[in-house]
Amino acid sequence: MTASTDTTRYARIAVQRGFDRHPEGLVYSIPASLHSVGLGDHVTVPLGRGNASVDGVVVGFGGSELLGARLTASRIKPIACVDSTIDPIPAIVIRLAQWISSYYCAPIGVTMAGITPSAVRKGIGRKSHIAVDLAQAPPTTTRIHPKRQAVIDALAHRDPSTRPVDIDVLRAECDLATHAPILALIKSGHLEATHRSSVQARWRESIVEDARAWTPTIEQQSVIESVSGALREGFSQHLLFGVTGSGKTEVYLRLAEQVLMMGKSVLYLVPEISLTPQTGGRIIARLPKQRMAILHSGLTAAQRHEQWIAAAQPGSKIVIGARSAVFAPVADGELGLIIVDEEHDSSYKQDQAPRYHGRDVAIRRAQLSACPILLGSATPSLESWFNATTRGVSRLHQLTHRAPGLRTPRVEIVDFRREIVLHRDRRVHLIGPTLEVALRQAFAAGGQAIILLNRRGYANWIACPDQSCGWMMQCDHCEAGMVVHHDSSTGSKERFTRCHHCHAEQKVPTRCPRCAKAVTIFGLGTQRIEEELNRLFPDLASQGKFARVDSDSMSKASDFHDTLGRFARGDLRLMVGTQMIAKGLDFPNVQVVGVISADTALNLPDFRASERTFQLVSQVSGRCGRSAQDGRAIIQTFQPDAEPIVAAARQDFVGFATRELAARHRFGLPPIHRLARAIIRHENRSEAQRIAAHLRAQLVSLPEARDVVIREPVPCPIARISDRWRIQIEILAATPAQLQQLLAAARSQAIVVPGEVLAVDVDPVALL
Ligand SMILES: [Zn+2]
Ligand SMILES: [Zn+2]
C-alpha cells in the first residue's frame, strides 16, 4: 500500500511516559474493530520493541498526513483496545492539555497523566457512596424481619439532623455482616437511598459554619452587577481586589448562584483546598441542593474517582477544587464562569512536570470555553495587577471596605532589635514583650490568638561557636543547612536533624567535627515557639488549649480540619504555625495575630521575596478584627523600615504594587518581561556545567533567540539537592510569544529535551 491510497485512519495517543521526541503524541493506526474510538478515549497501546502494553489517551485523529516524512505506514502499530468503562476526557480539556504541553514545555503524555487522577485511570472506587434515610411514605407491610426492623429502629432513633446515614455506618451500627438487609429495605420502599458524597459530609461535620446569605453592601452589589453583566458575553477577565474581610466570598457565591440559575456550571478554584476548609464548608453550606463535585489532594483515591464522575455528569453544577480541578471533566459548552479565589497563592503553581500555573491555565480554559473568569485576592499577584491596571486585558473591581461589623485590624510593627534589649535575662526570646503583653490581655479577655512563623522545626543552624573554625552542619546530599526537630510523636523530646530538601535525617552532633568544641544550636522554628509559649502560658498548655499547626504536626488534611474545628468552638485559644494559618481563616474571636519574624522570607535570593513578604504580612494581619472587637496584629521584625513590611502594615497594596512594578520594570523582570528557567541537574558537577554551557550555546545560535536575553549558566541558589548539582539558565523575553517561539524551536530541534537532566520552568514562581 502506498501513502496516496492509504485510507487507514490514525490517532495520536498521549502515552503516560515521558517521551518528548513526539510532543504531539505517538501515532497509532485504528483497526476496523475499533472504528468508533473517539477523542479523549482511554486506550491501551503496544509500545517499544517488546510491545509492552501501556495506557494512553486519544488526543487527535487524522489520515496518512499524521505519518509525516519519518514514519511509514507498515511500521505503525494498531491500538490494542479501548477502555469504555472510563468516561472520555472532554475535548476542551484535551485542548487545554495540548496548550500546557506546548506552553510549559512538558510532554503531552506527562501532561495528560497529570490531568486525570490515577484513581480514575485505574478505575479505583467506581462505586459511589450510598446514604440511607427512612422513607417519607413507607409501605404498610404487616411483618418485617426482626433484623430489618432493627435497621428501621436504629434510623428512627437517630437525631434527624444526622440523617441520611452512610450505608456503611448504618451497617456497623446495626452489627450486620452484609448490606443485604438494608438493600432489601430500600427495595421494599421502607428506606430511601441517596448518593451522597462522603467528602461533603465530612466538611459539614467538621467545621462550624455560618450559612447565612448576607445582604450585599453597595460595593459588593456593584461588583456583582458588573461581572454578571458579562456572564452572557463570552470570554472576559476580571480581577476582584478586595481587602481582607471585605466579603469576596459573598460576591463569588452570588455570581455562582446566577450561573447555576442560567443552567450553566461553575468552576471554583481555591488554593490547596484541604488547607482552606472554611471556604469549602461555606460554599457547600450555601449551595446545598445544587450538584457539586469537589476535587483536591486530601481525598482518597476512591473519593477522587467518585468526585470526578460527579463533575462529568451532564447538567449545571459547581466544581470546587484546588489547582488540578482546573481540568475537571465538565462538558464542553457547559461552563458559565470560572472563579479563582486567592489568585496570588503560590500553591496554584505545580512544582513538577507539567509545571503549570493553575490560575493561568484557568484563564486559558475560560478563553476556550468562552466564559468569564473572575480572579480575586486581597493581595493580587503583580501579574494580575499588571494585567488589570497596565495591560488592560482584565477589568478591575474593588472592595475597599471590610464587611459591616468587621473592624480594620490595628497593625503594629515592632522593632525586634529594640525588644531584645528589654529582656533582663540572657535567654533568647522569640516572643517580645509587646507581643507577650498583647497575648496576656487577649487571653484575659477571653479572646483567641494566632501566631505565625513561616519556618518548621526547632532551629535551623547548627554550628561551631568558634568563628575561626567556621564549621556549620550541612546536609550530605544538598547544599543546605540541616534543621533541628524535636520528635513530638513520642513525647520524649528526642532531637534529630532533617534536611528540608531531601528529607535526609541525622543525629544532632554534640561536638564540632573539626575542633571538638560543643556546638551551638540557634535560629527559629515553630517547635521552638511552641516551647516558649508553653513556658509563657503554662495554664493554656496544660489544659490542651494550644496547638501547633505545620506540615510536621498535621500529617493529614483531617488533622487540620479537626484543629480548626476545635479553634472554631473555642476549645483552643491559641494556634501557632506556618503559612497554613495565614490563609483565609475567619474566626471572630481572634483578638491578636502575631508574626514572629516578618523578615524570614525577605532576604531570600528571589525577585519575588518582597511581594511574598507583603502578601504574608497582609494576609495574616487580616485574620484578626473579624468581629466588632478590636484586633491587633503585631509584626516583629529586624527590618522595621523594610518597604513591604511597612506597606503591609499600612494596608497599602496599591502603593506597594506601584513601586514594586517600577522596580521590576527597571530590572526587566516579570510580569513586565516573561521568564523561563532551564535547570540542569546532574550528579557530576562538571558534567552539569558542560551540559549547561552547551545548551546555552545552542539556544543562542537559534534565529528565534535574536530578541531574547539568555543569561549565562549559574549555580541555582540551592546548588545541590539530593546529590544532584543544579545549574540554571534564565531566559527573559519582552513578550510571551518571543519566549514561546524560542522554546518551540529548541524543542523541535531536540535542543531542549525535558526529562531527568533538564527541567524547564516557564513563568516560575520560586527561584531556589
Ligand atoms: Zn538534603
Ligand atoms: Zn569547630
Mean pLDDT to the nearest integer, 416-431:
70
CA of 85 to the centre of ligand 1 (A): 43
pLDDT-based confidence at residue 201 (cuts at 50, 70, 90): low
pLDDT-based confidence at residue 25 (cuts at 50, 70, 90): confident
Grid cell at residue 28: 497509532
CA of 722 to the centre of ligand 1 (A): 6
- State residue 491's pLDDT score: 57
Q: Could you give the angle at the alpha carbon of 546 between the alpha carbons of 617 and 528, nearest 5°?
A: 65
If you ran DSSP here, which 8-state letter would residue 407 be given? P
Report how far apart, in Å, the C-alpha atoms of 711 and of each of 182, 678, 719, 749 are.
Answer: 68, 10, 17, 21
Q: For residue range 437-461, what is the model confidence (pLDDT) as tens digits? A: 999 999 999 999 999 988 888 888 8
If you ran DSSP here, which 8-state letter would residue 549 be given? E
Determine contact, residues 117/329, Cβ cutoff 8 Å. no
Count of all residues that appear for the chain in the document: 768
Interatomic CA distance for residues 611 and 620, integer angstroms = 14
Q: For residue range 363-404, what is the model confidence (pLDDT) as tens digits? A: 999 999 999 999 999 999 999 999 999 999 999 999 998 888
Phi, then psi, of 383 in degrees rounded to 5:
-60, -50
- State residue 1's pLDDT score: 43
Interatomic CA distance for residues 4 and 67, integer angstroms = 12
Q: For residue range 100-125, what is the model confidence (pLDDT) as tens digits? A: 999 999 888 889 888 887 777 776 66
CA of 761 to the centre of ligand 1 (A): 22
Residue in 490, 568, 537, 530 with CA at minimum distance from that of residue 208? 568
CA of 525 to the centre of ligand 1 (A): 18
CATH of domain 410-455+525-663: 3.40.50.300
Please report which ligand is nearest the Cα atom of 519.
Answer: 2
Q: Which of 181-190, 239-248, 273-282, 491-500 has the lowest mean pLDDT?
A: 273-282
| Highest mean predicted confidence (pLDDT) among 3-12, 183-192, 490-499, 729-738 | 729-738
Grid cell at residue 295: 476535587
CA of 233 to the centre of ligand 1 (A): 52
So what's the architecture of 674-762 in CATH?
2-Layer Sandwich (3.30)
Q: Which pTM value belongs to this model?
A: 0.86
Q: For residue range 330-373, what is the model confidence (pLDDT) as tens digits? A: 988 899 999 999 999 999 999 888 999 999 999 999 999 999 99
Q: For residue range 291-344, what is the model confidence (pLDDT) as tens digits? A: 788 887 777 787 788 888 888 888 889 998 889 899 999 988 899 999 999 999
Determine contact, residues 743/676, Cβ cutoff 8 Å. yes
Q: For residue range 620-642, what is the model confidence (pLDDT) as tens digits? A: 888 887 777 778 999 999 899 99
Please report which ligand is nearest the Cα atom of 509.
Answer: 2
Tell me the one-letter amino acid at 272.
E
Q: What's the whole-number average pLDDT of the chain?
A: 87
CA of 473 to the centre of ligand 2 (A): 10
Tell me the one-letter amino acid at 411.
V
Determine contact, residues 449/590, Cβ cutoff 8 Å. yes
Determine contact, residues 481/473, Cβ cutoff 8 Å. yes
Number of helices and strands in the chain (H, E): 23, 31
| Res 199 pLDDT > 70 | no
Give 3-state DSSP helix, strand, coil % of the chain, rounded to 5.
35, 20, 40
CA of 460 to the centre of ligand 2 (A): 17
CA of 515 to the centre of ligand 2 (A): 4
Q: Are strands 758-762 and 674-682 parallel, antiparallel or unpaired?
A: antiparallel
Interatomic CA distance for residues 251 and 226, integer angstroms = 11
Determine contact, residues 385/397, Cβ cutoff 8 Å. no
CA of 686 to the centre of ligand 2 (A): 30
Residues with Cβ–ion distance below 5 A, ligand 2: 464, 466, 469, 471, 512, 514-515
Please report which ligand is nearest the Cα atom of 720.
Answer: 1
Q: What's the gap between Cα 89 and its chain centre?
A: 22
Mean pLDDT to the nearest integer, 51-70:
86
Grid cell at residue 745: 524551536
Interatomic CA distance for residues 347 and 619, integer angstroms = 15
Q: For residue range 131-142, what is the model confidence (pLDDT) as tens digits? A: 788 887 788 766
Class of domain 3-116: alpha beta
pLDDT-based confidence at residue 473 (cuts at 50, 70, 90): very high
CATH of domain 211-399: 3.40.50.300
Longest dimension (CA), the chain: 93
Q: For residue range 221-263, what is the model confidence (pLDDT) as tens digits? A: 999 999 999 999 999 999 999 988 888 989 999 999 999 999 9
Interatomic CA distance for residues 137 and 109, integer angstroms = 53
Grid cell at residue 238: 476580571
CA of 463 to the centre of ligand 2 (A): 8
CA of 118 to the centre of ligand 1 (A): 29
- State residue 622's pLDDT score: 85
CA of 502 to the centre of ligand 1 (A): 4
Please report which ligand is nearest the Cα atom of 471.
Answer: 2
CA of 507 to the centre of ligand 1 (A): 14
Mean pLDDT to the nearest integer, 14-28:
76
CA of 673 to the centre of ligand 2 (A): 46
Grid cell at residue 499: 534536611
Determine contact, residues 683/724, Cβ cutoff 8 Å. yes
pLDDT-based confidence at residue 6 (cuts at 50, 70, 90): low
Please report which ligand is nearest the Cα atom of 464.
Answer: 2
If you ran DSSP here, which 8-state letter would residue 753 be given? -
